[in-house]
Chain A
Amino acid sequence: MMSLLRIEIFKIFRKPRTYIAFAVIALIIILIQVALKFGGEEYVGLMLSGMGNSFEDIPTKNILNGYLVCFIILNLLLIHVPILVALVAGDAVAGEANMGTLRLLASKPVSRVQLLIVKFTASFFYTMLLLIWMALLALFLSIVLFGVNWLGVPRELQFNIMEADDVMWRYGLAFCFAAIGLTCVAALAFMLSVFSDNSIGPIVITVCVIIVFTILTQMQIPFYDETIKPYLFTTHMLGWKGFFYVKGVDGETVKGSIENLPAIIKSAAILVGYTAVFLGIGFWYFNRKNILS
């Protein structure tokens, strides 16, 4: 199994397209960081302009720091990274079928279940590396460039502030949650990959599903809010932000608190459930699949 896994990982990292994701993430993060380095205070001022009605100058200088920059980057990127995950996970099985090597692979002395476990583990490994790469650039490089201070998280109807020493553990948990979300996307692309003999199909379908679901998640139409939205995995993928929503007593942040931990756990459970369903369907179909290519 381990040697098979090493081979699969080697196959993933042999393809140039694998590195496109790492390059794209680095490029986007650096572009955001440069933009915020030179115009970040204006951006923060614009973002919090609603507060200008009640307060004197918004302390943009203190608000703009490495922690906020990381939050902004994750806010923008974690919607798009699933697309990059789909590039590899969607190719995992369909790519072999496309190249005509799947039949050969299936004839090896490993069960189909083992083969799929190894392939999905390799996709998972790639996803985690991508996430770690993103964490390194978005969090640690931002800290180096912008320093640290308290973190202010703008929400639709609230502004949550937490002390600097109350932030790092939240990022740790947020990245763990993001790992669950991205694994769910990888499982979706992987399942579609099992159904297809061409890797373009699963990748494009996964991307389309993410786009449509994300739009539905962000649309504020009460009909969808109550009917479809709670069941979309993209709704629950935003759960990482829940670690930055704090409890307050008389307006004072309760240090170390999470506003609604049960909701985050529920979202994580739903994502794990979706992952299990996607993988279950994929495994079930692959075991019965007539491999012709």
Chain B
Amino acid sequence: MKEFILIIFAALGTHHLSAQTPEELVNKIRSKLEKVNDYTAKGKLKTNVVFIKAPIASVKIYYKKPDKMKIVNENGISFIPKGSVNINLAKFLTAAGKYEIVDAGNEVTSGFRILKLLPADENSDIVLSTLYIDEKNELIIKAKNTTRDNGTYELEMTYNKYASYGLPDKVIFSFKTKDYKLPKGVTFDYDDGSEKKPDNNMKNRKGKVEITYSEYLINKGIDDIVFK
């Protein structure tokens, strides 16, 4: 009997610890992100897409509240995936009041809290956003977004020095790539025997873009002209 009561108390206690409501959790994360009015960050962008071979590019990322974001090539050539403007986490949550939040429990393997955000606005580009949240540190670790126009994409974030601002050190952006093909009459390709013929695997394969951030300059002010 004594053991049974202890188990009941233990269970209640655990429940109480993780009993933040989804709204409370989102608000905490949002308030952390709202500490950042703007930032400039340098970053290294790595593209891993089936039809692109590219060196790691140096990029500069600009963000300004509420939803201005720009990724600029410092030199070299890099490709920014469609929908990547949402790398900005604040954008997920600034309109939190306009979302319906559904608690989907905890992920079995990692224990991260899963929240599903359903926008109330019927015209919103994002149809569904699933957030995997590290409750203890109040950080979004993973986000899966289903959009109206750009398919589904996934963000995975790793935090370190700037975790107190909710800013990641590394973002991995996964997305489905569309078909890429140029007419041979335009490229006059040299057939060295190494290029495979197009197959269906080219279509809708997952591409990844990794941005490793460094040198965040937070709340130093950014001119709007940067975003034009």
Contacts and interface: CB of A to CB of B under 8 A. Distances in A.
Interface of A: 47, 50-51, 53-59, 62-63, 75, 79, 149-150, 152, 154-164, 218, 220, 229, 235, 238-242, 245-248, 250-253, 255, 259-260, 263-264, 267
Contacts of A246: 53
Interface residues of B, number: 47
Contact of B55 (A58, A75, A255): A255
A63 B184 contact: no
Contacts of B207: 54
A50 B192 contact: no
Contact of B196 (A150, A157, A159, A218): A157
Contacts, number: 151
A159 B196 CA distance: 14
Nearest to A244: B190
Interface of B: 46-56, 73, 75-82, 84-85, 175, 177-196, 198, 202, 207-208
B56 A220 contact: no
A146 to B, nearest CB: 14
B76 A245 contact: no
Given A158-B180, A238-B189, 5 more contacts: A62-B76, A62-B77, A63-B77, A161-B55, A163-B76
Contact of A159 (B180, B184, B192, B202): B180
Contacts of A241: 188-190
Contacts of B56: 252
B79 A58 contact: yes
A246 B52 CA distance: 10
Contact of B186 (A47, A158, A239): A47
A263 B202 CA distance: 24
| Chain A facing B: main interface SS | mixed
Nearest to B51: A158
A235 B191 contact: yes
- Sorted nearest first, the 6 A-B pairs with minimum C-beta distance are A248-B53, A251-B48, A53-B178, A263-B192, A161-B54, A238-B190
Contacts of A240: 190
A157 B181 contact: yes
A47 to B, nearest CB: 7
B178 A158 contact: no
Contacts of B85: 56
B79 A55 contact: yes
10 contacts: A47-B182, A47-B186, A51-B79, A54-B79, A59-B78, A75-B188, A154-B186, A156-B184, A159-B54, A161-B52
B204 to A, nearest CB: 10
